[in-house]
Chain A
Amino acid sequence: MSEAAVMIAGVGMTALGVHADRSALDLAVEAASEALAQAAQRPQGVWVSSLAAARGDTSAAFEARLVDRLGLAPAPATLISAAGASGALAFCAAAQAVASGAVETALVVGVDKLCGLSPARARELLRATMAPEPLSGVSPPPAGVFALLAHEHMRRYGTTRRALSAVAVKNHANAVHNPRAHLRRAVTIEQVGASPLVADPLRMLDCAPLSDGAAALVLSCGRGRVRVAGIGCATGGVLWSARRERAEFTTTRAAGRRAYEQAGKRPGDIDVVEVHDAFTIGELCALETLGFFEPGQAAAATEAGQTAGLGPLPVNTDGGLKARGNPIGASGVAQLVTLTEVLTRGFVARDDDPARCGLAHSMGGCDATAVVTILERNE
């Protein structure tokens, strides 16, 4: 950030998974309370991200009720909803408020409760993350769009079905070390390839689950162990089908360029990465678009273990959306909680020096909204 230094002063996160007996408000309060206790600061503004709350599935006036439950009234609260990018966009808005001096301390809370929805309502909610196509007037199923993206990547670069499986295997292996993960179990290449077909070539184990859960961060002007070094946001190209370049995430590229420039970093400066892997093909495209690998090379790098927990560029060390879980409005915040923990405590699954610089990539729809955030340990 170019203005006042924005620091992360506290983080909190619930377990992700099925919380049948708890409300979205309960989950948000738990994560926020943990972050506030760690920060020991009172926020003057609250930014809330949630897909279900924004569409009336959680409760009316959700953000206002959260402020009351946390005893933060009359702090202004803003609800932000941009599909999968909701949490990262809320973080960006809060960071800008702190950087500008509008508030000294800000609370960001991402939450969603999606497991209790009927299958029909869940499908409707997911489809609503994609723009309607002009010929039909209907939004396509996200899995179908990402399946076509996978076909395009395969046609262009020779990416294989096995490479998609390798992404899932790696992220599930990482989730085994994450006690908060929704799918905390290892899977094999063979199991991914034999899981039920969702949209050819994507199978069930290529797709992130819908999860319940919440994550929160407290941002502070000048106080904290992790610095927000750069944030880039971009929106556009909402129809993947209408794009001229379909094998990369062009909106993510624009967001990444802004984040790298603001932070004064290059891909080679990044020690740990969280990318939006709602579908396994998304991780490969994001890694290539953000400059970690040449176009078409992320698949081979993944199969060679370069992005594994013990590899030279650990990616989705908490399991990613794929296995940590995907409470859609909370996922972008959860990525940043993970990065903050890695930067301050070190990796859970390895003993070498903790990372100094991390990057998170979050997106809504198929790259319609993208947010790239770079965090750096405050030495």
Chain B
Amino acid sequence: MNGEHEPGLPWALPAWRCPACGHAWLPEASACPACGAVGAERLALSGGGKLLLPPVVCNVAGDDPAGASLVLGLIELDEGPTALVEIVDSPPRRLEPGTTVTLTLRRVGCDESGARRYGYKAAVAPTTSARDS
């Protein structure tokens, strides 16, 4: 994570928008992935988004019965970039495309020295109306 403090998220990520075609993306690239234009504008992320596909439960535990599974979702952020992210705090129901989510800073693992690493996961928003209000 390349953390920089900007409005919107506790640990803001820079995203980018192409002034020529309007495409928005993550992570940084020197030219627009859609049209190749240079001169991208920096974009602040609000932390809101929605699922584009039903998230998948990945059984990453293998033969470790104590291991957990993770729920992986493809989301589109409100500002346009798309990304894969772990879905957390999900209610016990099947999540459909269009379900709103909010990015939340969580522990994502440890580095080789054992230090905790943090990154964004996506929590299912309580209700659409609550987030839109």
Report which A residues bind B (CB closer than 8 A). 119-120, 122-123, 133-138, 140-141, 143-145, 147-148, 151-152, 155, 196-201, 237, 239-242, 244
Contacts and interface: CB of A to CB of B under 8 A. Distances in A.
B53 A148 contact: yes
B56 A241 contact: no
Contact of A148 (B56, B86, B109, B117): B56
Given A133-B83, A135-B26, A242-B33, 13 more contacts: A135-B103, A135-B120, A136-B86, A136-B108, A136-B121, A138-B86, A138-B108, A140-B84, A141-B58, A197-B59, A201-B56, A241-B82, A241-B83
Given A151-B54, A241-B74, A241-B82, A134 B27 contact: yes
Interface residues of B, number: 35
A155 B83 contact: no
Given A133-B83, A136-B119, A148-B72, A242 B103 contact: no
A101 to B, nearest CB: 35
Interface of B: 1, 13, 23, 25-27, 33-34, 53-54, 56-60, 62-64, 70, 72, 74, 81-86, 103, 108-109, 117, 119-122
A198 B85 CA distance: 18
Contact of A144 (B25, B64, B72, B82): B72
20 contacts: A119-B63, A133-B85, A134-B13, A134-B27, A135-B13, A136-B86, A136-B119, A138-B86, A141-B58, A141-B70, A145-B84, A147-B58, A151-B54, A152-B53, A197-B59, A198-B58, A199-B59, A239-B83, A242-B25, A244-B23
Nearest to B59: A198
A152 B119 CA distance: 26
B99 to A, nearest CB: 14
A197 B57 CA distance: 9
A241 B13 CA distance: 17
A199 B56 contact: yes
A133 B81 CA distance: 12
| 7 closest residue pairs by CB, A with B | A136-B119, A134-B27, A144-B72, A144-B58, A135-B120, A147-B56, A134-B26
Given A134-B13, A242-B81, A151 B56 contact: yes
A144 B53 contact: no
A200 B120 CA distance: 23
Contacts of B27: 134
Contacts of A147: 56, 58, 72
Contact of A137 (B53, B54, B62, B119): B119
Contacts of B26: 134-135, 242
Given A123-B62, A199-B72, A134 B56 contact: no
A132 to B, nearest CB: 9
Contacts of A134: 13, 26-27, 83
Given A136-B121, A152-B53, A200-B56, A119 B84 contact: no
Contacts of A244: 23, 33-34
